[in-house]
């Protein structure tokens, strides 16, 4: 453990520290890389590859946009070639030289009359190269507050004569080889920004998450982006909170990184999928499970998460839809979670009721005895009968739960399966005769919650979280006691 003194001598009248949210909260359904501060403007000259013409202008970077505006009084065209139409101009790359002689590369640029939207931007001593040729040894990102997942005692407060002091107790560094391509290395930092106001202090507490390529040739930038996405999703899954990511930097080699881990080439880009901006007062730092729950299997936990995120984005996207875009109608939330469970079971247990060849022979035998006028109709009706039904899938999923209680009321058993199946069928294939066996109102809300717990439980079990930790978290489950920062 390393101990970093953060703050000394706060006025005694200011008993409560106020932690301001310093980064925009995001969840990435697609790649999202954010700026370190709300707004940057870079002035310089801009030009196209293999073009001699240079045009004055500036790039504006915010949490949500990157815009290039050409302001040269002698013209706002990047090329001497004539444009005979007013169609949108598209440039895969635009190069820039900043006012401090820094190199800037803009990718996937499009716009009209000297005003362009930019998808990705590299800022620093880098390389006017096509995007698919950019390779780096290390990519690092900041993830604020993730140390709370490691330890609940990051800060130590001491009362002293003139006020009190705070010491930051950084958790031990984490390192794990994820696969043959990349290892992950996580450090924990906290620093106090310069300020003259000692009554209100913003403590910048964050994790430095580094993805390190295991071969000397480096890794393509697009591949590194995939790892950022998957780590964001891990933090979001654990905390039900849009995962903070900011200050993305890349390094061409280990030497450049060791010289100063805060001076790599900055990477900016894109628009966040999730624009939730939770204030720090909403962050209760409660996680679904913590490092202590995982025990000694942390390396395996990380490996399995990245494997899951790489192979099952279709499942995670549905889970996060329930996390961040839960609707006002319980019926919709319930049906979305049933879809998650069905797809999850199909992912874990691919296959059919009987071998495809046997089913085809059986179907042909049935169709052969059907009058010609009904053959097409009967074949269409029977063609999907070899797939597992919701009943089959729920029985398989429930069998993995050890039959424990949830929410003090529900139990994963045959009655649970019947209620879920009847309710799903009623809401997707309305029939008034089924109404008496269907969950409504509060009962449907609790049934929906039980389905949410089930998919979380199953995913954590796949990550090899010990059974004892899962029972502790879920057997007497009350949703609000473990999660914060999402809309009910």
Please give the full DSSP string across 124-169, using - where no structure is assigned.
ES-----GGG-EESEEEEEEETTHHHH-S-SEEEEEETTEEEEEEE
How many angstroms from the chain centroid is the CA of residue 222? 16
pLDDT digits (tens, 9 = 90+) for 51-83: 889 999 999 988 778 999 999 988 888 887 766
Is it the case that residue 276 has pLDDT exceeding 50? no
For residue 33, what is the DSSP state?
Answer: B
Give the C-alpha separation, 218 to 393, whole Å: 43
Give the C-alpha separation, 102 to 65, whole Å: 21
| 212 close to 182: Cβ distance less than 8 angstroms | yes
| 5 close to 167: Cβ distance less than 8 angstroms | yes
User: Which is nearest to 291 in space by CA: 109, 128, 149?
Assistant: 149
* Minimum mean pLDDT range among 72-76, 87-91, 131-135, 283-287: 283-287
Q: What percent of the chain has pLDDT over 90?
A: 31
Sequence-distant (6+) residues with CB within 8 A of 474 are 404, 406, 453, 456, 457
pLDDT at 16: 30
SS3 61: strand
Q: How many CA atoms lie within 13 A of 467 on its CB side?
A: 5
Give the C-alpha separation, 366 to 234, whole Å: 49
Structure confidence at residue 407 as a pLDDT band (50, 70, 90): low
pLDDT at 6: 36
pLDDT digits (tens, 9 = 90+) for 227-257: 988 988 898 888 766 666 777 889 988 888 8
Is it the case that residue 302 has pLDDT exceeding 90? yes
Q: How far is CA 153 from CA 159, 168, 255, 401, in A?
A: 17, 9, 34, 32
Is it the case that residue 275 has pLDDT exceeding 60? no
The residue count for the chain: 488
pLDDT digits (tens, 9 = 90+) for 349-380: 998 899 989 988 998 889 888 898 988 898 88
Angle separating helix axes 330-348 and 414-428, nearest 10 degrees: 120
Mean pLDDT of the chain: 79
Sequence-distant (6+) residues with CB within 8 A of 168 are 3, 4, 5, 6, 154, 155, 156, 190, 203, 205
Give the C-alpha separation, 207 to 357, whole Å: 53
Q: Of residues 118 and 264, which shows the higher confidence score?
A: 118
| 128 close to 103: Cβ distance less than 8 angstroms | yes
Q: Of residues 428 and 274, which shows the higher confidence score?
A: 428
Is it the case that residue 34 has pLDDT exceeding 60? no
* Minimum mean pLDDT range among 142-156, 209-223, 328-342, 430-444: 142-156
Q: How far is CA 193 from CA 7, 187, 397, in A?
A: 10, 19, 50
What's the first-to-final CA gap in the chain, in angstroms?
Answer: 38
Q: Of residues 4 and 460, which shows the higher confidence score?
A: 460
| 20 close to 192: Cβ distance less than 8 angstroms | no
* Minimum mean pLDDT range among 275-279, 350-354, 482-486: 482-486
User: Which is nearest to 106 in space by CA: 82, 97, 226?
Assistant: 97
pLDDT at 47: 94
Using the structure block, give the residue that is written with the tokens 């059907």. 370
Burial tier of 19 (Cβ tally within 10 Å: 0-12, 13-18, 19+): middle
The β-bridge partners of 109 are 91, 118
* Minimum mean pLDDT range among 157-171, 180-194, 264-278, 386-400: 264-278
Q: Of residues 143 and 357, which shows the higher confidence score?
A: 357
Give the C-alpha separation, 389 to 383, whole Å: 13
Mean pLDDT, residues 399-408 taken together:
73
pLDDT digits (tens, 9 = 90+) for 203-222: 667 788 999 999 988 999 88
Structure confidence at residue 36 as a pLDDT band (50, 70, 90): very low
Sequence-distant (6+) residues with CB within 8 A of 101 are none
pLDDT at 195: 57
Q: Of residues 146 and 103, which shows the higher confidence score?
A: 103
pLDDT at 325: 79
Structure confidence at residue 180 as a pLDDT band (50, 70, 90): very high
Is it the case that residue 416 has pLDDT exceeding 70? yes
Is it the case that residue 5 has pLDDT exceeding 70? no
- Do the strands 135-136 and 138-144 form a parallel or antiparallel pair, or are they unpaired? unpaired
Winning range, highest mean pLDDT, from 128-137, 266-275, 416-425, 466-475: 416-425
Q: What percent of the chain has pLDDT over 70?
A: 75
User: Which is nearest to 76 in space by CA: 103, 95, 96, 57?
Assistant: 57
């Amino acid at each position: 453990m390393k101990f970093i003194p953060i703050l000394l001598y706060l006025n005694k009248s200011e008993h409560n520290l106020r932690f301001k949210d310093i980064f925009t909260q995001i969840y990435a359904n697609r790649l999202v890389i954010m700026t370190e501060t709300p707004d940057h403007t870079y002035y310089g000259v801009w030009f196209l590859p293999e073009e001699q013409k240079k045009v004055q202008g500036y790039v504006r970077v915010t949490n949500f946009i990157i815009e290039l505006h050409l302001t040269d009084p002698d013209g706002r065209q990047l090329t001497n070639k004539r444009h005979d139409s007013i169609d949108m101009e598209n440039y895969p790359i635009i190069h820039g030289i900043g006012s401090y002689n820094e190199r800037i590369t803009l990718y996937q640029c499009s716009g009209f009359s000297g005003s362009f939207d930019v998808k990705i931007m590299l800022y620093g001593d880098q390389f006017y190269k096509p995007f698919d040729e950019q390779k780096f040894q290390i990519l690092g990102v900041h993830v604020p507050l993730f140390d709370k997942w490691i330890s609940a005692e990051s800060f130590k407060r001491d009362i002293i004569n003139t006020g009190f002091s705070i010491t930051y107790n950084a958790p031990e560094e984490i390192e794990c080889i994820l696969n043959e391509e990349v290892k992950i290395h996580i450090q924990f930092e906290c620093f106090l920004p310069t300020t003259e106001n000692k009554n209100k202090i913003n403590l910048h507490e964050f994790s430095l998450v580094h993805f390190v390529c295991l071969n000397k040739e480096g890794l393509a930038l697009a591949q590194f982006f995939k790892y950022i996405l998957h780590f964001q999703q891990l933090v979001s899954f654990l905390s039900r909170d849009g995962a903070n990511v900011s200050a993305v930097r890349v390094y061409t080699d280990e030497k450049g990184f060791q010289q100063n881990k805060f001076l790599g080439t900055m990477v900016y880009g894109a628009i966040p999928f999730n624009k939730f901006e939770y204030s720090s007062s909403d962050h209760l730092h409660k996680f679904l499970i913590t490092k202590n729950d995982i025990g000694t299997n942390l390396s395996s936990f990380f490996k399995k998460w990245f494997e899951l995120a790489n192979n099952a984005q279709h499942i995670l996207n549905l889970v996060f839809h329930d996390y961040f875009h839960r609707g006002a109608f319980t019926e919709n939330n319930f049906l979305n979670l049933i879809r998650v469970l069905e797809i999850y079971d199909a992912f874990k247990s691919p296959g059919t009721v009987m071998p495809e060849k046997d089913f085809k022979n059986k179907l042909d035998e049935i169709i052969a005895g059907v009058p010609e006028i009904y053959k097409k109709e009967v074949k269409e009706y029977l063609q999907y009968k070899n797939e597992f039904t919701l009943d089959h899938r729920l029985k398989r999923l429930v069998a993995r739960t050890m039959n424990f209680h949830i929410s003090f009321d529900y139990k994963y058993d045959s009655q649970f399966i019947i209620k879920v199946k009847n309710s799903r069928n009623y809401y997707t294939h309305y029939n008034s005769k089924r109404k008496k066996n269907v969950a409504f109102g509060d009962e449907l809300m609790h049934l929906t919650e039980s389905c949410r717990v089930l998919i979380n439980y199953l995913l954590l079990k796949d990550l090899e979280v010990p059974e004892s930790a899962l029972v502790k978290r879920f057997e007497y489950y009350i949703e609000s006691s473990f999660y914060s920062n999402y809309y009910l």
